[in-house]
Amino acid sequence: MSTTQVPTTMKALVQHETEKRAQVKDHPVPKLDKNEVLVKIAYVAQNPTDWKHSAFLSPPNVIIGCDYSGTIVQLGDELKNKDWNVGDHVAGVVHGGKFEDKGSFAEYARVQSDLLWKVPSSGPVGLREAPVYGVGFVTAAQVLYTRLNLPYPPQKADRSNWILIYGGSTSVGVFATQLGKLAGYKVITTASPKNFELVKSYGADEVVDYHNADQAIEEIKKITGGSLTKALDTISEGDSFRIALESFSTSGDRKLNTLLQISEEGKKLAEQKGIETELTLAYTLMGNAFEFIPGSTIPAIPSDREFYVKLCKDTPDFIQKYNIRPNPIKDMDGGLEHILEGFEFMKAGKVSASKLVYKISNA
């Protein structure tokens, strides 16, 4: 085992023992298992899943947080990726909010050696930007490449194909729009008018205002010529299911991927129209079975983990070769102690078309 000096305790955002909230407190530095490295966290990025886990799903004493960047300070045994060295700058996603010794909102995190990627040594993406290629990026890639079967680069599809990215200004939406274009598809997305120019700057061919559902459906059908067969709903709430489902072609193999459970009304509409729907969770990329909500176990999906291993190897190419850009960043002051303020901003709907990023250390 190769290592630099590592303390036995650290500061971490940990779920309260009796209340549905998190708190910053002293916590043991994680011990490494086989095929793991220890990362000193430099920056973290915030996702809706972080506050939702803490508010509804997380058991006591687990570390919150998924997205991170930092520096490898310790190498474990039997690494599947033997190319790592102490001092390497890395980034990735961990399954925060479920385990006492995993989670990124901390001074240190343990990560499987083949499920993180090397941050480029030069260019527009450094440690500050790298955690933005977290849950949003891997979810978009997972859905488009493994569920909707878009061609993985450098392959491309026929440019006559349309894909709907519902919620183009979300973190997943920004990445899905770029990946859809990279795959050769024409991308139509929904957004508030204030974000039209933003989503177009990330490659959207057409943008539709979702506020009037009937009008949005008509616009999408008109623009796509009624040919839509693939869609990703990054919002998965309210009218989003109906708008997406009603916008599809009336025949052929059609599929809608969602990021939250589809509503009963959505299920019925999809069945009536013969449209396949599927909930996709990035957590299946980690290779472990887990209880998503009490009484509902998500099985391990080995093929998802294999895909994430490949994606980690290729992420520097997505950045440097294919120019996949991160969401706009909003730098947040205060480090770990102020992440809870970001939770409140998200709960109140005050985070739009940007990613909250916190500096944790000078790692």
- Under DSSP, the state recorded for 106 is B
Q: What pairing do the DSSP bridges indicate for beta strands 89-93 and 116-118?
A: antiparallel
| pLDDT score of 160 more than 90 | no
Classify 219 as helix, strand or coil: helix
| pLDDT score of 280 more than 70 | yes
Mean pLDDT, residues 197-216: 98
| pLDDT score of 2 more than 70 | no
Mean pLDDT, residues 28-49: 97
* CB atoms near residue 255 (< 10 Å): 17
Mean pLDDT, residues 313-323: 97
Mean pLDDT, residues 8-23: 97
Bridge partners (DSSP) listed for residue 40: 71, 108
| pLDDT score of 110 more than 80 | yes
| pLDDT score of 10 more than 70 | yes
How far are the Cα atoms of 121, 197, 205, 327 from residue 201, in angstroms, in the given order? 26, 6, 10, 11
How far apart (Å, rounded) are the C-alpha atoms in residues 360 and 247?
A: 44
| pLDDT score of 158 more than 90 | no
In the prediction, which pLDDT does 296 show?
80
| pLDDT score of 1 more than 60 | no
In the prediction, which pLDDT does 250 show?
96
- Beta strands of the chain (E only): which ranges? 2-3, 9-15, 22-28, 36-45, 67-75, 89-93, 108-112, 116-118, 162-166, 186-191, 206-209, 230-233, 255-258, 276-279, 290-293, 296-298, 329-332, 355-359
Q: What are the structural domains, with CATH classification, of the chain?
A: 2-133+312-359 (3.90.180.10), 137-280 (3.40.50.720)
Q: What pairing do the DSSP bridges indicate for beta strands 67-75 and 22-28?
A: unpaired
What is the pLDDT confidence band of residue 363, given thresholds at 50, 70 and 90? Answer: confident
- Report pLDDT digits (tens) over 225-256: 999 999 999 999 999 999 999 999 999 999 99
Contact call for residues 341 and 322 (beta carbons, < 8 A): no
Mean pLDDT, residues 124-153: 98
Bridge partners (DSSP) listed for residue 22: 15
What is the pLDDT confidence band of residue 4, given thresholds at 50, 70 and 90? Answer: confident
In the prediction, which pLDDT does 29 show?
98
Mean pLDDT, residues 158-165: 91
What percent of the chain is modeled with pLDDT above 70? 99
Buried b (16+ CB within 10 A) or exposed e, 282-305: bbbbbbbebeeeeeeeeeebeebb
How far are the Cα atoms of 135, 163, 205, 269 from residue 254, in angstroms, in the given order? 25, 11, 21, 13
How far apart (Å, rounded) are the C-alpha atoms in residues 360 and 185?
A: 38
Classify 163 as helix, strand or coil: strand
How far are the Cα atoms of 3, 6, 132, 163, 218 from residue 212, in angstroms, in the given order? 57, 55, 31, 20, 10
Contact call for residues 231 and 208 (beta carbons, < 8 A): no
In the prediction, which pLDDT does 46 show?
97
Mean pLDDT of the chain: 96
Q: What phi, psi does 7 have (nearest 5°)?
A: -70, 170
Among the listed ranges 35-39, 65-69, 76-80, 156-160, which one has the minimum average pLDDT value? Answer: 156-160
pTM: 0.96
| pLDDT score of 294 more than 90 | no
| Token output for 143 | 């859905």
In the prediction, which pLDDT does 3 show?
64
| pLDDT score of 197 more than 60 | yes
- Beta strands of 250-327 (E only): which ranges? 255-258, 276-279, 290-293, 296-298
| pLDDT score of 162 more than 70 | yes
